[in-house]
A and B are shown apart, each in its own frame.
Chain A
Amino acid sequence: MSGFSLDAVAAILFIPAAAAILAALPNYRMTAAVNVAASLLTLLAALSLFVTDRPAPGQYLLIDDLNIVFIVLNTFVGFTTSVFSASYIAHELETGRLTAPNLRFYHAMYQIMMFGMNLAFVSNNIGLMWVAVELATLSTVLMVGIYRTHEALEAAWKYFILGSVGIALALFGTILVYMAAQPVVGEGTNAMVWSVLIENAAHFDPALLSVAFIFLLLGYGTKVGLAPLHAWLPDAHAEGPTPISAVLSGLLLNVALYAVLRFKLLLAASPQAIGPGPLMVTMGLTSLIFAAFMLYRRRDIKRLFAYSSIEHMGIIVFAFGMGGPLANFAGLLHMVMHSLTKSAIFFAVGHIAQVKGTQKISEIRGLTESHPGLGWALVIGVVAIAGLPPLGIFMSEFLVVSSTFARHPWLAIPLVFGLLIAFGALLLRLTGLAFGEPRGGMAPVEASYVPIYSHLALVFAAGIYLPAPLVAWFQHVAGILG
């Protein structure tokens, strides 16, 4: 049985790898289909992890409650995004923004990225995790630059430079962790196996761990997009193909966040080391408030929502930094909800930008009038992302704010402040985009509504009803996160 489920893990890894090669094959017409099919298979493999019992943690692979959340979310959004990107890319091909070779490259990279992210989640080895994260990052760098336009290249270059500095810092942090572990658990691979590390973390040298955590926080935090390490994020979202924006916001940020969480656990296990909580709370609040203010003057619709991703990453990091069962639960819930909502928003925005022929907010008006399907999707999405009920994010924000205020009132005030500022900005833009006299292209759009509305439906359902098993599972993970 365990053998089978190990196969499931293997499938999660190898399907994308294989698909990447397939997609790179000369015949580009197939590639989109391959992409969708592969993503679907990966999702099924991921789901099979529920029914099968888990493999014992090996030197390289590990399945536990924490990462299974991420894996399933990852593969699910990966699948819906592939569905969306099929219709999106087709349109790009018609308009000639992309060529057939681009397409092959794009789909190959897409699968490599999925491979990288899945590997990052299942890896039990901090070195391997690092490799995987970088792999995912670099593949997205290439996709961001795919349009070859001045702006796209500039964005990709910025992403690449900042990203590789992040790479370096994270690697140094990883090395430091190894150095801290090596005297305790002895030399060799064992000193990089996470499940081993967490057991002995108490005996590690606290000073080393502290330095290591700072490097890891900055290194992976760069990819989480925490201010002031965020600079790459808005442009990468704005200039890349929209499916990639969706994946970046929905998934890649989570990957980096997952890495940070793992190391937070490690640090939390070593009492004398510097507390990760205050650091994360600070970075979270900074990002939240900073992004909230940045939302106001955005003129590009995708950049707008990129900043809102920064804002929400801030909230999540804040929640995990607060710790405690309520805040951690809220953090997990918020992360899942944000992935679903934000990717749905980007799906809608992608179609909108295509039909209106522009990403300039000022040139898009009255969507609910001209394109009700997309317009109302955008309204629901923004309402959800702004934390209004009856949608999922409301529940998580409810828990974060109320529990924080009960515990540390002075932390809740800036939190609420940031939330309100961000809300004002988002609603302001939404009012302009969705209402008023329609402006811009009026052509009917053949959008793929299924991914959009399936995400929104999930978010809505979660807002009013969380199934008991999911809750128990979240609570357990929240317990692990301490």
Chain B
Amino acid sequence: MNGLTFDIAHLLAGSLVLISFMMLYQDRLFALINIFALHAVVLALSVAWQAYIQDAHHLYITAAIALVFKAIVIPVGLHRIIQRLGIHRDIETAVGIGPTMLAGIGLVTLSMVLMLRVTPEADPLAREDLAFALSIILLGLLVMVTRRNAVSQVVGFMSLENGLVLAATGAKGMPLVVEISVAFSILIAFIVIGVFLFRIRERFDSVDVGALDDYRGERR
């Protein structure tokens, strides 16, 4: 493969990591959702690019799924939910922005170190891809654990899934089964979450997980 294709793939993957970082320091819900939409768009691009260079046409479907669901449907849906449930707009974070960013940097380095131990026989693209994917996943988890607000946690989770998709598409010739199952699982995930949010709406006035947690199985 020539340098350009590689660089483009590299660029896209790297920008995904960058966008994950941007998520880390958002303190407004809508902004967060928009960033996530951007994340999804870039993901779609990189998947499409992979489809092109591996000329594996089924990957275009994945790209499309990413674009349609993650970049459009879900952000819109989340906007709706926020308006309908009247969740106040700003996110209270569990850990301050600064430490979070530092942790994020640490995580990225960690994933780099891990992946660079992989023997170079594995093709470089895969290695870089994996390194980025791993850091995106870890950053997504970081978002989930540093945000108190349910919506932002959901967003974090989805960015994590994006990392998965990136990794999966980076893996050359990985059977279609997997992508579909990814989308499939995310779909189910959203149905269920939707169902739950709906039920929860019936019973509580917010989807703040904190409020959900005030009953924790056993009262002390």
The answer to whether A and B touch directly, with their CB atoms under 8 angstroms apart, is: yes
- State whether the Cβ of A369 lies closer than 8 Å to any Cβ in chain B: no
Interface positions of A from 187 to 246, Cβ below 8 Å from B: 187-189, 191-192, 205, 207-208, 211, 234-235, 238-239
Nearest residue (CB) in B for A176 is B130
A148 CA / B196 CA spacing, docked (Å): 10
Contact among B173, B189, B203, B218 for A153, CB-based, below 8 A: B203
Q: Which residues of A contact B192 (CB under 8 A)?
A: 138, 141-142, 160
- State whether the Cβ of A18 lies closer than 8 Å to any Cβ in chain B: no
Chain B residues engaging chain A, CB cutoff 8 angstroms? 114-115, 117-119, 121-123, 126, 130, 133-134, 137, 141, 144, 153, 157, 160-161, 163-164, 167-168, 171-175, 177-178, 181-182, 184-185, 188-189, 192-193, 196, 199-200, 203, 209, 212-213, 215-218
A178-B171, A205-B122 known; A303+B164 contact, CB < 8 A: no
Q: Supply 12 further A-B pairs (C-beta < 8 A) apart from A142-B192, A188-B173, A300-B218.
A: A130-B181, A131-B177, A153-B199, A153-B200, A154-B216, A164-B157, A168-B157, A176-B130, A188-B175, A205-B122, A238-B217, A299-B218
Q: Once the chains bind, are A164 and B189 in contact (CB under 8 Å)?
A: yes
A205 CA / B120 CA spacing, docked (Å): 10
Q: Once the chains bind, are B217 and A151 in contact (CB under 8 Å)?
A: yes
Nearest residue (CB) in A for B213 is A154
Q: Which residues of B contact A160 (CB under 8 A)?
A: 192-193, 196
Q: Which residues of B contact A142 (CB under 8 A)?
A: 192
Q: Once the chains bind, are A235 and B173 in contact (CB under 8 Å)?
A: no
Interface positions of A from 110 to 142, Cβ below 8 Å from B: 125, 127-128, 130-131, 134, 138, 141-142
Nearest residue (CB) in A for B117 is A207
Q: Which residues of B contact A125 (CB under 8 A)?
A: 177
Q: Once the chains bind, are B126 and A156 in contact (CB under 8 Å)?
A: no
Contact among B122, B161, B181, B216 for A127, CB-based, below 8 A: B181
A207 CA / B168 CA spacing, docked (Å): 18
A298 CA / B217 CA spacing, docked (Å): 11
Nearest residue (CB) in B for A237 is B217
Q: Once the chains bind, are A179 and B171 in contact (CB under 8 Å)?
A: yes
A175-B167, A207-B117 known; A131+B181 contact, CB < 8 A: yes
Q: Closest 8 CB pairs between A and B?
A: A187-B173, A207-B117, A235-B217, A207-B118, A189-B175, A175-B167, A131-B181, A127-B177
Q: Which residues of B contact A128 (CB under 8 A)?
A: 177
Q: Which residues of A contact B167 (CB under 8 A)?
A: 172, 175-176
Nearest residue (CB) in A for B192 is A160
Contact among B118, B175, B218 for A208, CB-based, below 8 A: B118
A175 CA / B189 CA spacing, docked (Å): 20
- Output the least CB separation between A172 and chain B (Å): 6
A238 CA / B172 CA spacing, docked (Å): 44
